[in-house]
Amino acid sequence: KNYNTYNAGYIFGYGTYADNQMWSVVPYTDGNWFVNGYGSGDWNTGVAVSFDVWSHIVFTYDGSTVKFYLNGIQVSSTTKTY
């Protein structure tokens, strides 16, 4: 994986740094937000968030579905096993 494609580095992550044991959230240089799955597959939310305005972003995970909220509105989701 080429980590030089990230714009601002990891925003947050959870778990042990090993395959299928960690996930993290990161903005890419194109502005889209990704969830990195470390062996479980990455997820491009397809949602770009401007870096020059304040935004409230939230990711939730219930054990099967990852949801992405922007300013209180769900804007993307996917089924994942992390």
Query: What 3-state class would DSSP assign to 49?
Result: coil
pLDDT class of 77 with cuts at 50, 70, 90: very high
Tokens found for residue 1:
């994986």
Report the relative pairing of strands 22-27 and 12-15 from DSSP bridges: antiparallel
| pLDDT reported for residue 74 | 96
Q: What separation in angstroms does the CA of 12 have from each of 27, 35, 58?
A: 11, 10, 11
| pLDDT reported for residue 71 | 95
Residue 5 confidence (pLDDT) above 70: no
Distance CA 32, CA 54 (A): 16
pLDDT class of 82 with cuts at 50, 70, 90: low
| pLDDT reported for residue 10 | 67
Q: Which of 43, 45, 42, 14 is nearest to 31 (CA)?
A: 45
